[in-house]
């Protein structure tokens, strides 16, 4: 069963499963996977859908609290994305799970829509059985997405948060009450350590303190372990052993080693693997700057990546150039009066670069969804109806991704106009190139919106998409002549 869920997750291109941790007493499995944002979002959806098919909460029991087959799905920023990007992913996925799978979805942590839903334990209160009794009658238990009723798959909690360490400590006693008292002493909600959540459980005939450490930098792992050790001694017991659930950052283990070994003058560069990684990274920065892998994929005899991905990539390049122009302007006495604005342009362009880089994969994933929908069976009236609905949903997604690209490209064009007007004169050709790439990004993405809108059966939605593209293109047309004229004036060129 768990293997089938893992297989569904791993079926998405570019997604890698890093770890699978299953515990028979908790009756719970944790699957950790990584990949580009759009691919991870699709993999999470497939994993939730497969879990809903295979797991019946009416027949499920275990020590660990739960409200759903796919109980909790957190998105964690690792590289190239930030927490805000993960919030957007969580909310998009939540809506899709509610609409397409009919599963109630609650948003938590940074994605929460209400303060009382930030903490996972609030959402799990009463577990599946309690939620089933209240979801249709208690307004406080209404889901953020999906129906106000529970099926055998229960509900799913989806959110965005920093990396946490799931860590369990086993005691030299079977008395679960001792574990509960220690958990009460160390968890933040009852007066203990900040960024520590803890429960006392009985697992495998032994008392266990089960924890989530939500900020291992602010509350280090050894501090938690030593407090458990001291609390356990009050009851005449000790730590028997501990375990990790899933993965742990190397930094947390290094910090624990430094604390216990008391290496006062330690620097992270003294770790062999860290120093080797730095050398490899330095070497890679001197290699070919062209992303040959993307260009090879673009040239391949496959539908994806295609023009939509190329448009997003052009936008990402425009954003990168604007970051460069801003950085070449900041700190120069000649441009001191525009430094604050250039810092804002740098910040916004860097954010747009990340978002458009993610859209490269998102566009390909969206069109793969269209292809997959067309391949669904159509042998019966029910399957035909399901296939038609899936095609329309996937086609709308394939239109909405490039629509977002056009909006970001328009913003880049506006920023490029400012960079041309006020940026370092020595980088005016770079600012102008950024404007040209932003226009290419907008034009290419707009074409993809129009093509997909034409394939939608809902003509009102199609017309709205076209109307929005018309408005964006009109704004771009108003900006372009002024940017070209200013490039000619500041650059000492003949007007085009």
Active site residues: 64
Q: Judge contact between 325 and 427, C-beta under 8 A.
A: yes
Residue ranges with strand state E in 267-363: none
Q: What whole-number distance in Å separates Cα of residue 217 and Cα of residue 254?
A: 11
Nearest to 436, CA basis, from 495, 492, 479: 479
Six-digit token string for 293: 């892998």
Q: What whole-number distance in Å separates Cα of residue 428 and Cα of residue 17?
A: 45
Residues whose CB is less than 8 angstroms from the CB of residue 349 and which lie 6 or more positions away in sequence, other chains included: 319, 320, 322, 323, 326, 412, 415
Six-digit token string for 102: 């009919």
Beta strands 72-75 and 156-160, pairing class = parallel
DSSP 187: S
For helices 307-329 and 339-374, what crossing angle results, to 10°?
170
Q: Judge contact between 216 and 252, C-beta under 8 A.
A: yes
**Sequential DSSP letters for 147-183:** -SS--TTB-EEEEE----EEEEEEES---HHHHHHHH
Residues whose CB is less than 8 angstroms from the CB of residue 350 and which lie 6 or more positions away in sequence, other chains included: 319, 323
Integer distance in angstroms from the first to the last C-alpha of the chain?
Answer: 65
């Amino acid at each position: 069963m768990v293997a089938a869920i893992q297989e569904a997750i791993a079926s998405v291109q570019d997604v890698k499963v890093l770890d699978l941790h299953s515990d028979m007493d908790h009756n719970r499995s944790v699957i950790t996977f990584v990949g580009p944002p759009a691919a991870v979002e699709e993999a999470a959806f497939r994993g939730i859908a497969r879990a809903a098919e295979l797991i019946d909460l009416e027949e499920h029991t275990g020590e660990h609290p739960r409200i759903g087959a796919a109980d909790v799905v957190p998105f964690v920023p690792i590289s190239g994305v930030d927490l805000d990007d993960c919030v957007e992913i969580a909310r998009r996925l939540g809506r899709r799970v509610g609409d397409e799978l009919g599963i109630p979805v609650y948003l938590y942590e940074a994605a929460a829509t209400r303060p009382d839903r930030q903490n996972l334990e609030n959402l799990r209160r009463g577990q599946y059985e309690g939620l089933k009794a209240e979801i249709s009658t208690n307004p406080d238990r209404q889901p953020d997405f999906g129906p106000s009723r529970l099926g055998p798959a229960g509900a799913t909690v989806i959110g965005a948060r920093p990396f946490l360490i799931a860590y369990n400590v086993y005691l030299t006693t079977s008395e679960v009450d001792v574990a509960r008292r220690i958990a009460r002493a160390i968890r933040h909600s009852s007066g203990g350590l900040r960024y520590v959540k803890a429960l006392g459980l009985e697992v495998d005939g032994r008392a266990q303190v089960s924890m989530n450490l939500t900020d291992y930098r602010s509350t280090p792992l050894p501090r938690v372990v030593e407090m458990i050790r001291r609390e356990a001694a009050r009851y005449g017991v000790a730590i028997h052993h501990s375990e990790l659930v899933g993965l742990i950052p190397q930094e947390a283990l290094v910090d624990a080693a430094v604390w216990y070994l008391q290496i006062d003058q330690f620097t992270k560069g003294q770790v062999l693997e860290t120093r080797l990684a730095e050398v490899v990274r330095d070497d890679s920065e001197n290699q070919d700057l062209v992303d040959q892998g993307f260009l090879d994929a673009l040239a391949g005899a496959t539908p994806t990546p295609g023009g939509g991905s190329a448009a997003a990539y052009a936008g990402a390049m425009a954003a990168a150039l604007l970051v460069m122009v801003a950085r070449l302007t900041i700190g120069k006495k000649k441009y001191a009066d525009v430094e604050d604005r250039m810092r804002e342009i740098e910040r916004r362009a860097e954010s747009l670069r990340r978002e458009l880089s993610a859209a490269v994969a998102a566009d390909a994933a969206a069109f793969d969804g269209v292809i997959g929908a067309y391949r669904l069976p159509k042998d019966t009236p029910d399957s035909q109806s399901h296939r038609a609905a899936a095609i329309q949903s996937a086609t709308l997604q394939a239109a909405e991704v490039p629509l977002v690209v056009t909006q970001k490209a328009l913003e880049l064009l506006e920023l490029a106009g400012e960079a041309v007007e006020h940026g370092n004169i020595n980088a005016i050709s770079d600012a102008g190139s950024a404007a040209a790439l932003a226009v290419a990004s907008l034009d290419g993405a707009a074409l993809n919106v129009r093509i997909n809108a034409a394939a939608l059966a809902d003509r009102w939605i199609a017309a709205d998409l076209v109307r929005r593209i018309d408005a964006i293109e009109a704004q771009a047309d108003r900006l372009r002549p002024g940017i070209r004229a200013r490039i000619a004036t500041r650059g000492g060129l003949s007007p085009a």
